Amino acid sequence: MKLLKVGTILLLFLSGCSPTYQQPVSLPSEPFLVIAHRGASAYAPAHTFPSYELAIEMGAHYIELDLHRTKDGKLVVLHNDSIELNGSELEIDEITTDTLSAFKPADEFNRPDNKFASQRFTSLRVPSLEQVLREFGDQTNYYIEIKSPDRYPGIEQQLFEQLDGHHLLDRDDPLPKVIIQSFSSDSLKKVHELSPTTPLIQLYSFKKKANLSSAKLKQVSRYASGIGVNAEVVTEQLVEAVHQSGLAIHPFTVNQSEQASTLISLGVNGIFTDKPDLIINLLHQNSK
């Protein structure tokens, strides 16, 4: 079924109707997905153009984008919901993009013990979503996390308007051009209403054991295509239960070959990593 455009969805909502419910799409079983966590963030400041460029050059299937919204309504790409600027902690939704432009993502990356630190990173600034999409277009795939959606009412609609404007939604590519993830099930359900053919990933983080029953996974499968979970809690039993529910599983964040090899042997479908080259080289070795 062709993707309903955002404008069509809005007309349905305004007229008091809602789209017919659709079963979530299934993610392709191949290839094993290498997801560049904030880009190749082991080698360049997270969520910056150099980090994304490196990830694409290394062959990552997806670059991850974390989204927040500024006080003046711009979607921006960074992980934390606050920044430290001039000795003050500032919430992203309480500052404008002009204020945010003074923040330097390289300050934390260029610490003395980081062998990848470089002065060429000092001029980098937090990019907007629009800048990222304009820069990379359809030369890569996007794995986008909606961060703190409760703080940004309407962010789902705003995101899809921008994605639709860059012709990233209604496509017939081997891999989905866009995957959306969030810890918020409510936000993901809104996304599923906006775009039933966009794969969604329900995120979880557990301290010791993944508390995901078959009933819970079945509920997730009503709106999502998979789950993302911290790698430390992934077991063979969890992978089997996820797959039996028709879901994919993408653990985060894996930067060691031994841990990656273990997860691959357990049957996970992809891995978030700061080091896309490490995972890609490991997959190449395993295929020989």
| Percent of the chain's residues with pLDDT above 70 | 93
194 residue type, one letter: L
- Give the pLDDT mean for 212-238: 98
Distance CA 157, CA 194 (A): 7
Tokens 């049957």 -> residue: 267
Task: Name which residue leads in pLDDT, 9 or 153.
Answer: 153
Question: Quick check: 25 pLDDT over 90?
Answer: yes
Q: Which of 138, 238, 225 is nearest to 182 (CA)?
A: 225
145 residue type, one letter: E
58 Cβ contact list (under 8 Å, min separation 6): 36, 40, 276, 277, 280
| Percent of the chain's residues with pLDDT above 90 | 89
Question: Quick check: 3 pLDDT over 80?
Answer: no
143-202 residue pLDDT tens: 999 999 999 999 999 999 999 999 999 899 999 999 999 999 999 999 999 999 999 999
Please state, rounded to an integer, the average pLDDT across all residues of the chain.
93
Instruction: Output the CA torsion sign for 41, 243, 230, 184.
Output: positive
127 Cβ contact list (under 8 Å, min separation 6): 47, 48, 49, 76, 77, 135
Q: What is the pLDDT of residue 19?
A: 47
245-286 residue pLDDT tens: 999 999 999 999 999 999 999 999 999 999 999 999 999 998
3-class DSSP state for residue 53? helix
Cβ–Cβ under 8 Å, residues 179 and 200: yes
Q: Of 37, 47, 61, 68, which is the active-site residue?
A: 37
Cis peptide before 31 (omega within 30 of 0): yes
Structural domains in the chain, CATH included, are 31-286 (3.20.20.190)
Q: What is the pLDDT of residue 286?
A: 85
| Both structure tokens of 276 | 């896309």
Q: Is 167 a catalytic residue?
A: no
Q: Of 47, 61, 79, 243, which is the active-site residue?
A: 79
CA atoms within 13 A on the CB side of 283: 20
DSSP lists the bridge partners of residue 270 as: 33
Instruction: Say if strands 178-182 and 200-204 run parallel, antiparallel, or are unpaired.
Output: parallel
Cβ–Cβ under 8 Å, residues 223 and 200: yes
